[in-house]
């Protein structure tokens, strides 16, 4: 990688950071999907266990 004479910063930083950002966004989305599935199981079980109605949940 090329170095600037002044400051010694590596160049280009923005494209590398953008690549890392996209990787993190994909990782975050995968985690969200996994955790969403766990939440749905928990919510469905709680609804069944406590015989909750949609109106009690503020859904209708």
pLDDT at 28 over 60: yes
Phi, psi of 2 (to 5 degrees): -75, 145
The pLDDT, as a whole number, for residue 12 is 76
**Residue 33: both structure tokens together:** 């999907």
CA angle 10, 15, 21 (to 5 degrees): 115
Q: Is the pTM of this model over 0.85?
A: no
The pLDDT, as a whole number, for residue 8 is 61
Q: How far apart are CA 51 and CA 56, in angstroms?
A: 10
pLDDT at 20 over 70: yes
């Amino acid at each position: 990688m090329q170095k600037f004479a002044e400051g010694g910063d590596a160049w280009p930083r923005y494209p590398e950071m953008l690549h890392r950002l996209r990787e993190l966004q994909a990782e975050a989305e995968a985690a969200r999907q996994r955790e969403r599935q766990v939440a749905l199981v928990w919510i469905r079980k709680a609804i069944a266990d406590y015989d909750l109605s949609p109106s009690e949940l503020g859904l209708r």
